[in-house]
Amino acid sequence: MVFDAPPAAPTHSWMPISPCSTGCVQPADAAGMARVVGRGLRLAGLLASYPAAHVLTPAGRRERLQREYARGVLRSCGIELRVIDNRGDGAEVAGRDARLGAPGAGVLVVAGHIGWSDVVVLAAVQPLSFVARADLIDWPMLGGLARLMRIIPIERERLRALPGVVAQIAERLAAGERVAAFPEGTTWCGRAYGKLRPALFQAAVDTGTPVQPIRLRYLDAHGERCTAPGFVGDDTFATSARRVLRSRGIIAEIVLEPVQDPGTDRRDLARRCEELMRTPDLTDGARAALTAATMHLADAVARSAQPEKV
């Protein structure tokens, strides 16, 4: 069983990397020890009971069960969920029945990637299949959920395996399923972020499936960006989980941006989604400067990883 698995390290020059480190991650307001223990017990109970509940629940009601369990996991972690719907005329806070696509219709959901809690946050809006790191199924607590959520495993260290992952996504989209992916390809701290890689968007182009861009961020009790849920640098799942359980006042905010037609060009599709996901942040000059600096550093690291020409 993998417990102290850190974020994947780059093994080839095309592998997405993030310059964010554990130095980027700042704890949120601390919860009392009694509260932390209570959270841990509730979380253990939820995760232990879910497999049996899943089997005993009729198929037609499992989606609701999955969503309620995901919300229970968030509450046990002390994370409040906030959903804002920008798909209509003006933004409004979405109710408990926000939907990511029409029933029975495939949709590719794309979001930025901050930490392991992103999967739970998106599932709390509506159950999805996920494209996730292959070793997630071996993780404690989340591994069992990952198997039941039918993750599509991706090994970012194996570039040759990428076409097979795209084909699996396309197959599920064509079958009318909702699939979530994190096109940055790795986790960032939540204050800075990376570019959306276009490869996974090809599945939407091939199947003519609409894409739902999502702006995901974590806030603290004061309404400021919170990096406590980040899973970066030398972080392990164990240290990240402890940090989240010991925090209080974290809000996971999801903004549903207008759905995008896939078109015929995956790079254009990735660009359109990226603009929707990032534009509000780019109005903040300081944050834009931070992002530019971190992306420049990421490019420099990527260049240094390329083998020298003989």
- pLDDT of 308 reads 39
Closest CA to 145 of 167, 178, 122, 165: 122
pLDDT tens for each residue of 124-183: 998 889 998 777 777 666 666 677 778 888 877 677 888 999 999 999 999 999 999 999
Query: So what's the pLDDT on residue 118?
Result: 94
- Residue of higher predicted confidence among 293 and 260: 260
Structure confidence by residue, pLDDT tens digits, 43-96:
889 988 888 898 899 988 988 998 999 999 999 999 999 999 988 754 455 555
Interval 90-112: pLDDT, tens: 445 555 567 887 777 899 999 99
SS3 92: strand
Amino acid at 74: L
Tokens 């949709």 belong to 107
pLDDT of residue 280: 65
Can you point out the beta strands (E) in 107-224?
107-111, 129-133, 152-154, 178-181, 211-219
Contact status, residue 211 vs residue 259, Cβ threshold 8 Å? yes
Each residue's pLDDT tens digit, 240-284: 888 999 999 999 999 999 999 999 999 999 999 999 998 765 444
The stretch 185-210 carries a mean pLDDT of 91
Residue 210 and residue 167: Cα distance in Å, rounded? 16
Query: Which band of pLDDT confidence, cut at 50, 70 and 90, is reported for residue 8?
Result: low
**pTM for the whole structure:** 0.81
CA distance 257 to 273: 9
Q: According to the model, what pLDDT value does residue 127 have?
A: 86
Six token digits for residue 307 = 């083998």
Whole-number average pLDDT of the chain: 81
> Can you give the pLDDT at residue 291?
42
Average pLDDT of the residues in 223-237: 88
Q: What is the pLDDT of residue 93?
A: 54
**Cα distance between residue 40 and residue 77, in whole Å:** 8
**Per-residue pLDDT band at 296 (split at 50, 70, 90):** very low
Can you give the pLDDT at residue 298?
44
Number of other residues whose CB lies within 10 A of the CB of residue 269 = 24
pLDDT at 237: 83
**Cβ contacts of 67 within 8 Å, gap of 6 or more:** 123, 124, 125, 126, 127
Q: How confident is the model at residue 217 (pLDDT cuts 50, 70, 90)?
A: very high
